[in-house]
């Protein structure tokens, strides 16, 4: 299965995350992930590994158009001059020709995450205009956003020439922002679910473990399949061969009753990772 973005570009139904994979290691890990079956690779300027990701794509032996590569403009950059430079840097570091999808990483700089008094509507629109230009020029095949809330999206939708194709957000069993997901779907924006295991801690949830036992799969498989059955594109990250392989064991269906049970789980305890803005649970 795959999804069609609102501009007709095809995007795979599951991706491979690369946050916290060092640039020196990422090439081999991504090449392995591609060999094992992933063809959507998620990186970002902020991960510092675009060079290694680009090298993996070029050396993979697969045709360039088989692999879909997403990267993101630094969330801290909120002026057009630096945003342009950021785009150029990513383009050069990846060195794969047109980027498949470029996202604005965050509507606010990380230090002002979800600060209601510090919004960047005007700046995000300007940066969106720059992305539109690159899209129309052909240096990027699709453009979108990440961590955008409904009002951030409204700001773009009400003023843009090209509608965002994707919103990449935190979504996993235990923390599903259904209002935002439904808003995106209603507006033709595909939702990518980052941190499908809540960065790890959610895999210890007893209800998820119990359900995985019943289906004869791993908790990670339940987490991924749940998101897919909700029409989202999950972006699991793994480094070991065993994990990378395991996470593609998806040949089963979660029943409607069990989906409802999973919908009702509330678990957003990110333990030591709550120090990261994205896991800080700020509303
Ligand atoms: N847009 C944004 O702001 C944003 C924010 C966060 C993440 N993301 C994207 O989403 C991707 C995924 O999110 P994430 O990196 O936060 O974490 P995640 O995918 O929710 O969880 C990764 C953790 O789960 C472990 N794991 C993976 N497969 C496993 C398995 N089969 N069994 C047991 N443990 C397993 C990994 O261990 P090993 O590494 O040891 O295999 C790692 O510790 C990122 O890499 C990034 O591409 C985007």
**pTM reported for the whole predicted model:** 0.98
| DSSP 8-class letter at 172 | B
Q: What is the pLDDT of residues 55-74, one digit of tens each?
A: 999 999 999 999 999 999 99
pLDDT at 282: 79
d(CA 203, CA 173): 10
> How many whole angstroms from 6 Cα to the centroid of ligand 1?
27
pLDDT at 1: 77
Cβ of 197 below 6 Å from ligand 1: yes
**Position in ligand 1 atom list of the atom nearest CA 18:** 45
- Structure-token match 């989906």, residue found: 259
Testing ligand 1's pocket by substitution, the residue of 18, 101, 170, 200 carrying the most ligand atoms inside 8 A of its CB is 200
Q: Who contacts 194 (Cβ-Cβ below 8 Å, separation ≥6)?
A: 17, 42, 146, 168, 169, 170, 171, 235, 278
Phi, psi dihedrals of residue 282, rounded to the nearest 5°: -75, 135
> What are the distances in angstroms from CA 232 to CA 100, 126, 160, 224?
18, 28, 24, 9
The residue whose C-alpha atom lies closest to atom 27 belonging to ligand 1 is: 238
Q: What is the pLDDT of residues 138-171, one digit of tens each?
A: 999 999 999 999 999 999 999 999 999 999 999 9
pLDDT at 98: 98
> How many whole angstroms from 194 Cα to the centroid of ligand 1?
8
Q: Who contacts 69 (Cβ-Cβ below 8 Å, separation ≥6)?
A: 40, 41, 43, 53, 54, 57, 94, 96, 99, 100, 101
Cβ of 174 below 6 Å from ligand 1: no
Angle made by CA atoms 183, 185, 187, in degrees to the nearest 5: 70
The number of beta carbons lying within 10 Å of the beta carbon of residue 151 is: 10
**Position in ligand 1 atom list of the atom nearest CA 223:** 20
Is the pLDDT at 27 greater than 80? The verdict is: yes
pLDDT at 281: 86
What the chain holds in terms of domains, given with CATH numbers, is 2-279 (3.20.20.100)
Q: Who contacts 173 (Cβ-Cβ below 8 Å, separation ≥6)?
A: 202, 205, 208, 222, 223, 226, 262, 265, 267
Q: What is the pLDDT of residues 119-144, one digit of tens each?
A: 999 999 999 999 999 999 999 999 99
Average pLDDT of the chain is 97
Torsion angle in degrees (nearest 10) through CA of 173, 166, 139, 10: 80
d(CA 117, CA 107): 13
Q: What is the pLDDT of residues 90-100, one digit of tens each?
A: 999 999 999 99
270 Rama sector, left if φ>0, alpha if ψ -120 to 50, beta otherwise: alpha
The number of beta carbons lying within 10 Å of the beta carbon of residue 105 is: 23
Contact 100, 70 (CB under 8 A): yes
**47 catalytically annotated:** yes
Q: What is the pLDDT of residues 249-265, one digit of tens each?
A: 999 999 999 999 999 99
Q: What percent of the chain shows pLDDT beyond 90?
A: 99
The number of beta carbons lying within 10 Å of the beta carbon of residue 115 is: 11
Q: What is the pLDDT of residues 189-223, one digit of tens each?
A: 999 999 999 999 999 999 999 999 999 999 999 99
């Amino acid at each position: 299965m795959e999804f069609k973005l609102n501009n007709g570009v095809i995007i795979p139904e599951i991706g491979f995350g690369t946050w916290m994979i060092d640039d020196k290691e990422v090439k081999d890990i991504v090449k392995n992930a591609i060999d094992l079956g992933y063809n959507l690779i998620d990186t970002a300027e902020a991960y510092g590994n675009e060079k290694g990701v680009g090298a993996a794509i070029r050396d993979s032996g697969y045709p360039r158009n088989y692999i879909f590569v997403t990267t993101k403009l630094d969330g801290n950059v909120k002026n057009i001059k630096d945003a342009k430079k950021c785009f150029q840097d990513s383009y050069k570091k990846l060195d794969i020709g047109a980027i498949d999808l470029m996202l604005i990483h965050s509507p606010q700089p990380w230090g002002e995450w979800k600060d209601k008094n510090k919004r960047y509507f005007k700046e995000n629109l300007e940066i969106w205009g720059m992305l539109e230009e690159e899209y129309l020029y052909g240096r990027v095949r699709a453009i979108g956003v990440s961590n955008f809330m409904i009002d951030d999206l409204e700001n773009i939708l009400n003023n843009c020439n090209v509608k965002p194709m994707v919103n990449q957000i935190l979504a996993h069993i235990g923390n599903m922002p259904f209002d935002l997901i439904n808003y995106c779907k209603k507006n033709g924006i595909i939702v990518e679910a980052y941190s499908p295991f809540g960065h790890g801690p959610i895999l210890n949830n007893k209800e998820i473990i119990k359900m995985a036992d019943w289906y004869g799969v791993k908790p990670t498989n339940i987490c991924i399949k749940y998101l897919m059955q909700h029409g989202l594109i999950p972006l699991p990250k793994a480094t070991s061969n065993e994990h990378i392989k395991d996470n593609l064991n998806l040949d089963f269906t979660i029943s409607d009753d069990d989906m409802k049970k999973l919908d009702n789980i509330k678990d957003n305890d990110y333990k030591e990772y709550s120090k990261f803005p994205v896991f800080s649970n700020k509303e």
